[in-house]
A and B are shown apart, each in its own frame.
Chain A
Amino acid sequence: MKWEIKEGLKYARTHEWAGFEGDLVTVGITDYAQDMLKDVVYVELPEIGQEAQVGESLAVLESVKAVSDLYAPVDGEVVEVNEALLDRPELVNEDPYGEAWVVRIRIDAGYENPELLGEDDYAALVKEEADR
């Protein structure tokens, strides 16, 4: 497959990745998503302390092609945002799983979102979308 899908992450059907570490979840968009968007030129971040709700828009990514929402993959509270993206939106295209993380969300102990996909299921979703 042309696009990287990283091990150890969970994926939303709307192409966000979520990295779980204790009660913190780091969120960004996937390699496939950045490739579909093309060159990202502007990122709008949420406020720290904002409530995150699954499926609701948390951030806005604007590319030369389209304006797209980043949807929260988990319920919780935004505790950190990646301000580096404000000056360097191109990071989203260069390093979507690393430097271009977008927000960190604190979740309640034991919280799970059963809707999130593992890497194999997400790979199948990407393949299906790309072949459509």
Chain B
Amino acid sequence: MKREQPLLFELGAPGRRGCSLPPLDVPAKPINELLPPQMQRQDPLALPELSEGELVRHYTALSTRNHGVDSGFYPLGSCTMKYNPKVNEEVARLPGFALLHPCQPPESVQGAMELLYRAGLYLQEITGMDQVTFQPAAGAHGELTGMMLIRAYHRSRNDQRKVVLAPDSSHGTNPASAAMAGYEIKEVPSDERGLVDLEALRQLLNDEVAALMLTNPNTLGLFEQDILEIAAAVHDVGGLLYYDGANLNAIMGHARPGDMGFDVVHLNLHKTFATPHGGGGPGSGPVGVKEHLAPFLPVPLVEKGEKGYFWKDDLPHTIGKVHGFHGNFGVIVKAYTYMVMMGAAGLRRAAADAVLNANYLMERLKNSYALPYDRRCKHEFVISAREQKKRGVSAGDIAKALLDYGFHPPTVYFPLIVEEALMIEPTETESRETLDRFAEALEEIARLAAEDPASVLAAPHTTPVSRLDEVSAARRPRVCWTGNRKSD
């Protein structure tokens, strides 16, 4: 078992330093001449005092506490935690990309501009959209940008629509982004298939509806097979269709949101296009639009002219900038590298294998867990711990128990329409052996939940700390160090 790691404040000793500063080479001035008394600190600042070696050991110890795709299986639903090929990192670190300054004159960064331009073309081809902005820094930022584009579009037609629709299975960011853009949210119920209830949708549609936000396949991993009818119904009342690209990995290279009738899409390069996710990011959430929304895109856009690539700033109807310069450029380099290395056939294959892996796991796990929507899934699926719950073992307990097997748990309690939900997305980059080991772990936990529920409720046993008090942490968070330093 790993020991608890003390805080920096608990390490070191008074007067210990990590570096020696050179002597002052300008005349020293008394502090009273520099700061008025009321601005001066009365007590010394309680900073940690450590040697360089202690500091390095501290952070190295913490770094080994991480779980990432490089350390193990990470089947976090809707997050597409696929392996991030190291060649992407190598390319992003090429001095010609890594050492650029965004204010350099365009003629000196033609290569970087070409990469942006081509990456945009690839994403247009993959999504069926007409133009792409790379500015948004991640998925939810892309959603907000998309919602602002939709609002700008309606307003340009003197149409003040107020409502955005999102299914009850939607990612929580969808209603949040629409609300942030000033819209009122209405929820579209799912039907017994786990898909958009088309009749209920028709009831909600009117000339107040600005857009419907949809993920396809949805968060149950099910393909919205009525998508053409849905698109027609939304467009008939003058609304637009927004595609949340979190689940694009399921259909990449096989079906295009643009062909389904979507007007705006956001993509998560840190999901579908194999760039690091979470703390290893940053992310990137490009937004693609159809022609009728292109006039509102953020500026600048990269365009190709007779004398090479140039920044296009003169978009009179632009919503403005949503990020400094051109988004998280390094991430775009990595995603571009991924697309080039995979090729069109490779991207298609990735989606097919992601779907195969998910179905393989689903078919096996439905023998141990309830499967509320038992249909062929796409890249992810949702099982329910409702049977285990009868023995007192919840989805959250199962997630904790999985830590002892060395796996990151799946998403739990989401989507909201499945009780005791466990949402599993294996991705295409896992081997059959890994999938089998994961299934065996979940099967064993199910067996324990039936025979010895107390053992599951006491898990995890192998982590530095077992169960954290999440409730107190949320109700009364203590985020400041208030304890005494060792030396006091």
- Asked whether A42 lies within 8 Å of B416 as measured between CB atoms, the reply is no
Q: Closest residue of chain B to A93, judged by CB?
A: B471
Taking a contact as CB atoms closer than 8 A, the residue among A39, A67, A132 that contacts B471 in the complex is A39
B445-488: which residues lie under 8 A (CB-CB) from chain A? Answer: 470-471, 474-475
A65-83: which residues lie under 8 A (CB-CB) from chain B? Answer: 65-67
Q: Determine whether B18 belongs to the interface, using a CB cutoff of 8 Å to chain A.
A: no
- Asked whether A64 lies within 8 Å of B416 as measured between CB atoms, the reply is no
Q: Closest residue of chain B to A132, judged by CB?
A: B419
Footprint of B on A, CB under 8 Å? 39, 41-42, 64-67, 89-90, 132
B371–chain A nearest beta-carbon distance, Å = 15
A64–chain B nearest beta-carbon distance, Å = 5
Q: Which residues of B contact A39 (CB under 8 A)?
A: 470-471, 474-475
Q: Which residues of B contact A67 (CB under 8 A)?
A: 172
What are 14 A-B interface contacts by the 8 Å CB criterion? A39-B470, A39-B475, A42-B474, A42-B475, A64-B470, A64-B471, A64-B474, A65-B396, A65-B413, A66-B413, A66-B416, A89-B475, A90-B475, A132-B419
Q: Which residues of B contact A41 (CB under 8 A)?
A: 471, 474-475
Docked complex Cα distance between A39 and B475 (Å): 9
Docked complex Cα distance between A66 and B474 (Å): 13
Docked complex Cα distance between A39 and B394 (Å): 14
Docked complex Cα distance between A89 and B413 (Å): 21
Docked complex Cα distance between A65 and B470 (Å): 10
B417–chain A nearest beta-carbon distance, Å = 11
| Candidate in B172, B396, B470, B471 with the most chain A CB atoms within 10 angstroms | B471
Q: Which residues of B contact A132 (CB under 8 A)?
A: 419
A67–chain B nearest beta-carbon distance, Å = 7
A43–chain B nearest beta-carbon distance, Å = 11
Footprint of A on B, CB under 8 Å? 172, 396, 413, 416, 419, 470-471, 474-475
Docked complex Cα distance between A122 and B395 (Å): 27
A62–chain B nearest beta-carbon distance, Å = 8
Q: Which residues of A contact B475 (CB under 8 A)?
A: 39, 41-42, 89-90
Q: Which residues of A contact B416 (CB under 8 A)?
A: 66
- 7 A-B pairs closest in CB distance: A41-B474, A39-B471, A41-B475, A65-B413, A64-B470, A64-B471, A66-B413
Q: Closest residue of chain B to A64, judged by CB?
A: B470
Docked complex Cα distance between A70 and B172 (Å): 17
Q: Closest residue of chain A to B475, judged by CB?
A: A41
Docked complex Cα distance between A90 and B413 (Å): 20
Q: Closest residue of chain A to B470, judged by CB?
A: A64
Q: Closest residue of chain B to A41, judged by CB?
A: B474
Docked complex Cα distance between A79 and B416 (Å): 32
Docked complex Cα distance between A65 and B475 (Å): 13
Q: Closest residue of chain A to B420, judged by CB?
A: A65
Q: Which residues of A contact B471 (CB under 8 A)?
A: 39, 41, 64
A126–chain B nearest beta-carbon distance, Å = 14
Docked complex Cα distance between A87 and B413 (Å): 26
A91–chain B nearest beta-carbon distance, Å = 11
B466–chain A nearest beta-carbon distance, Å = 17
Q: Which residues of A contact B413 (CB under 8 A)?
A: 65-66
Docked complex Cα distance between A5 and B396 (Å): 27
Docked complex Cα distance between A126 and B413 (Å): 20
B323–chain A nearest beta-carbon distance, Å = 27
Since A41-B475, A66-B413, A67-B172 are in contact, a sample of 17 more A-B pairs with Cβ atoms closer than 8 Å, ordered by chain A residue number, is A39-B470, A39-B471, A39-B474, A39-B475, A41-B471, A41-B474, A42-B474, A42-B475, A64-B470, A64-B471, A64-B474, A65-B396, A65-B413, A66-B416, A89-B475, A90-B475, A132-B419
Docked complex Cα distance between A90 and B471 (Å): 9
Docked complex Cα distance between A39 and B470 (Å): 9
Q: Closest residue of chain B to A62, judged by CB?
A: B474
Q: Which residues of B contact A42 (CB under 8 A)?
A: 474-475
Docked complex Cα distance between A64 and B395 (Å): 13
Docked complex Cα distance between A41 and B358 (Å): 34
Q: Closest residue of chain A to B413, judged by CB?
A: A65
Q: Which residues of B contact A90 (CB under 8 A)?
A: 475
Q: Which residues of A contact B172 (CB under 8 A)?
A: 67
A85–chain B nearest beta-carbon distance, Å = 11
Docked complex Cα distance between A67 and B179 (Å): 15
B409–chain A nearest beta-carbon distance, Å = 14
Q: Which residues of A contact B470 (CB under 8 A)?
A: 39, 64
Q: Which residues of B contact A89 (CB under 8 A)?
A: 475
Docked complex Cα distance between A89 and B471 (Å): 11
Q: Which residues of B contact A64 (CB under 8 A)?
A: 470-471, 474
Q: Which residues of A contact B419 (CB under 8 A)?
A: 132
| Candidate in A65, A66, A67, A89 with the most chain B CB atoms within 10 angstroms | A65
Q: Closest residue of chain A to B172, judged by CB?
A: A67
Docked complex Cα distance between A132 and B396 (Å): 20
Q: Which residues of A contact B396 (CB under 8 A)?
A: 65
A41–chain B nearest beta-carbon distance, Å = 4
Q: Which residues of B contact A66 (CB under 8 A)?
A: 413, 416
Docked complex Cα distance between A43 and B413 (Å): 20
B161–chain A nearest beta-carbon distance, Å = 18
